[in-house]
Structure formats: structure tokens, C-alpha cells
Amino acid sequence: MIEVDHLSKYYGPVTAIRDLSFSVEPGEILGFLGPNGAGKTTTMRILTGFMPASSGRAVVAGYDVFAQALEVRQRVGYLPENVPLYREMTVSSYLHFVAEVKGITRRERPRKVGEVMELCGVQDMERRLIGNLSKGYRQRVGLAQALLNDPPVLILDEPTVGLDPRQIIDIRQTIKNLRNDHTVILSTHILPEVSMTCDRVVIINDGQVVAVDTPDNLTERTQPYRSIHLEVQGPEEAVLAHLQGLPGVLAVAKNGANPSGAAVYTLSTTKERDMRADVARAIVQQGWQLLELRAVRLSLEEVFVQLVTEEVEAHA
């Protein structure tokens, strides 16, 4: 649905993105992740046909974003980062304007505007001036205008920034509901958001793609070893020594104690196989009490930091 091919953009001497390539399948939600200034917004602006790239090519819904910009814009709903809306218009008149501009016929306009207002939960604000709305409602009006005329591709630049936790959940749910009928690219730097809503993640740093994968695979791949969280009631010295002796265990560290006084350990085990059963058996055989045992996954934050710093080190 979206094909980005060796895209670069320079602002004078400043390189915003360099040789960026990735693709998005129809019906997929792609998370666009990167630190500030990584080139997320620039990439999105190129994909929406707002600005041309310096070199490379991007195809959206089968049309080239530069040569067939009008066709592309007809098929893309865009929510820019700061949600720039005309403050002096009411919600309803603004959405009617966008509907008209997007080529919805006069007869269809009230119905379609009504639909997106309901979908984004702004029907109660219909008569209010956009300038007087709270940030959360403005965000929703921005999403509503992007959804007008049901574009197959949605490009959302930080759709949940500045919202309260309830609104974030609402907007995420709305975006999730769009899956299948729409192809969505959303940029964010809230990492849990990505694991919750996105099918795949593109991590970019310094204008270049660092990784493209599903959130699960990313965590899996970046983790150098498996990690196990363990709580055992028993003689600490003996437990430590015994665990260390198990084949496949790389390191054991004691991490304080839980509230009931049992010691907490973190085991690093080989990546080749799941060691949980072996550890459990070993402890029970010794007659100690096994209180808790679970696999620990690297959080996406850690993956992200790791990938981004690796990149910097590789450059240095």
C-alpha cells in the first residue's frame, strides 16, 4: 500500500532523512518510532504530498507522491503533529469545508460529516468554535477531518500527544478499529502505544531506518539472553551456588527480597532454549520453596534505547 524507496530529504546543508526504505502492507498499522528530530515528520510530510523529497521515490496507494500528488492526496487522510485547524471556525463548518474540499457532494456531506463526528466523539461540540476547544477535542476534530471521505491510507503524526489517559485509550481504540479497512502509519514516542496498537514498527534514528519488525520480534531479537525472575524461600548461599551450577545458566544475581522475606533472583540463561522447567525442577528437588518464576522480556523502551545507541556507536 505504501512503498518508500531510498528516500532522502535535505534542508540546505541539513539532512533530515537519508536513504529511507520500508513498505507497509494494506490493512496494517505501522508504528513510526524515533527520537526527536529523527525525521518522522519529514517522512510523513513527503508521504502526504506536502513536500517533495530531494531524492528517492515513494508510492502511496499505487500513485507516486511527487508525480501524481493530487491522486495521492485524494487517498490519504493526514493528521499533522500540532493539529493545525482554523480557530475561527466551528467544528461543524470546518468539517463541512474539508468535506467539500475532498470532493464529497453537497447531498452526502451532512451524513459523512455526522459519521466522522460520531466516530471521533465530537458531535456534542458541533457548534463550538475550534479555538475554544480543549487540546483533546481539537485532536479529535483533527482525526475526524483525516477520516472524512474514508481514505484508504491514514497518516497520523503523534495522534495521542497531549491527551489525558482516558482520551489516549479512546483514540487508540478508534485507531485500532480502523485496522483492516485502512492502512495506518502513526508516529509516536510513547513506546507502550506501539506494542498496543501497531502490527509492525519502523525505528528510525538520525534519518535512517534502524529496524523494521513486529514489536514482539524486535524484543526477541535484541535480547542477547533470556531472563528469568525467581523468588525462592531457602538458604541464599546454597540457592545461588546451586543455580549457578545449572547448565545453561549464564549468571545469577540476587535482587533483594520480596515483602515476605523470600530472596529474589534474576537469572540470565542461554538464548537457545527455555530454561524455566529446569530451574523449577532443580529448586523443588532441593526441597526449597518456589514462590514465583517467570520469564522477563525486554521492554520496548530498552529495545529502543539499545537500537538507537548501537547506531550511534556504529557511526562513531
Partner 1 sequence: MRSIYAVFKREVKAYFTLPIAYVMVGGLLFIVGWLYYLSFRWFLGVSFESMRNPMMASDLDISSMVVGATISTIGVVSVFTLPLLTMRLWAEEKRSGTVELLLTFPLRDSSIVLGKFFAGLAVYVALLLLSLLYPLLAGLYAHLDPGPILAGYLGTFLLGATLFAFGFLCSTWTENQIVACAIAWAGFLFFWLIGHAADFAGSDLSKVLTQLSFAKHHENFAKGIIETQDVAYFVLFTVFCLFLTLRSIESTRWRG
- Provide the binding-site residues for partner 1, judged by CB under 8 A: 11, 42, 45, 48-52, 70, 73-74, 76, 78, 80, 82, 84-89, 93, 97-98, 100-103, 145
Task: For residues 16 and 41, give the distance between their C-alpha atoms in angstroms, rounded to a whole number.
Answer: 9
Q: Which is nearer to partner 1, 83 or 263 (CB)?
A: 83
Strand pairing of 263-269 and 226-233? antiparallel
Tell me the closest approach of the beta carbon of residue 114 to partner 1, in angstroms: 19
* Displacement of CA 302 from its chain's centroid (Å): 15
Tell me the closest approach of the beta carbon of residue 136 to partner 1, in angstroms: 18
Task: For residues 120 and 83, give the distance between their C-alpha atoms in angstroms, rounded to a whole number.
Answer: 15
Task: For residues 81 and 177, give the distance between their C-alpha atoms in angstroms, rounded to a whole number.
Answer: 21
Q: Which is nearer to partner 1, 71 or 310 (CB)?
A: 71
Tell me the closest approach of the beta carbon of residue 25 to partner 1, in angstroms: 23
Greatest Cα-to-Cα distance within the chain, rounded to the nearest angstrom: 80
Q: Which is nearer to partner 1, 85 or 228 (CB)?
A: 85
Tell me the closest approach of the beta carbon of residue 148 to partner 1, in angstroms: 10
Q: Which is nearer to partner 1, 12 or 247 (CB)?
A: 12
**Quick one: which of 262, 271, 191, 186 has its CA closest to 228?**
271
Tell me the closest approach of the beta carbon of residue 40 to partner 1, in angstroms: 13
For residue 12, count other CB atoms closer than 10 A to its CB: 5
Q: Which is nearer to partner 1, 143 or 249 (CB)?
A: 143
55 phi and psi angles, rounded to 5 deg: -155, 165
